[in-house]
A and B are shown apart, each in its own frame.
Chain A
Amino acid sequence: MKKKILLVEDEKALCLLYEEELSREGYDITAVTDAETALAKLVKTAFDLIITDIRMPGKNGIELITQIMGMRKDIPIIINSAYQSYKEDFMTWAADAYVVKSASLDELKAKIKELLGD
């Protein structure tokens, strides 16, 4: 069965790109553009992994992952941000990996495989 990934990314163009690239890798991708929708999806679906941006309108990615910790501590989370500076926030430790956005998704794909044990 396909592994389910929840992608939280406010830029719709990036959502489409990630969906296309990661679906090609054999994952079932659910893309949402804000944290509140992500939390609602998490209640209904047992995702295997979450990828989240940090800077988003409304609740930011760090607030989202810390809230997820109150629901499910075991779900692997990858922070995918364009900014290195958020690494200084120790609340990012709630995530399992921090991948800086890049034109290539190779690092992100490798991290997904590592965390899902593929």
Chain B
Amino acid sequence: MPESLSRDNHDIHDSQGIHVASRRRALGALAAGIGLIIVRPARATPEDLVLALREAFGDRQIARGRVSLEIPRLAENGNVVPVIVRVESAMTPQDHVTGISLFAEKNQLPRMLDVRLGPYNGKAVVSSRIRVATSQQITAVAQLSDGSLWSASAEIEVVTSDCGL
């Protein structure tokens, strides 16, 4: 059984078997008001992404978890990248996902797609195909009926954007 593609937990172990997920949580370098988006320790959240998140969600906190984002680890040129977003939710009238948004931190326009969901979906699982301009982190943000926001991010390497020059 092949290993799952999903990296919702960033469950990475380095070659010595040391769980590195904890090293990846960097809460420091964020614009004020945007909550707990996990970024790579050596890099700040690109300003364009921060602005896009603020435009979408205002000052609301975005937590980590409940969302699983499945995209390939590599794309040849990034033109057609399959993506599956899954959100843990019973999808009842009292407790369901109301929407999912996808963001690409380094695309010319970070905001890629918004979908609206409700209890009538039964399952909060949505697939699509997206364009990824260059190697970067993709983030999915889900909004629940109680107003809370949850997210997951995943790295994708667009191989042509690394062609040695």
Q: Do A and B bind each other?
A: no
Binding site for B on A (CB under 8 A): none
Binding site for A on B (CB under 8 A): none
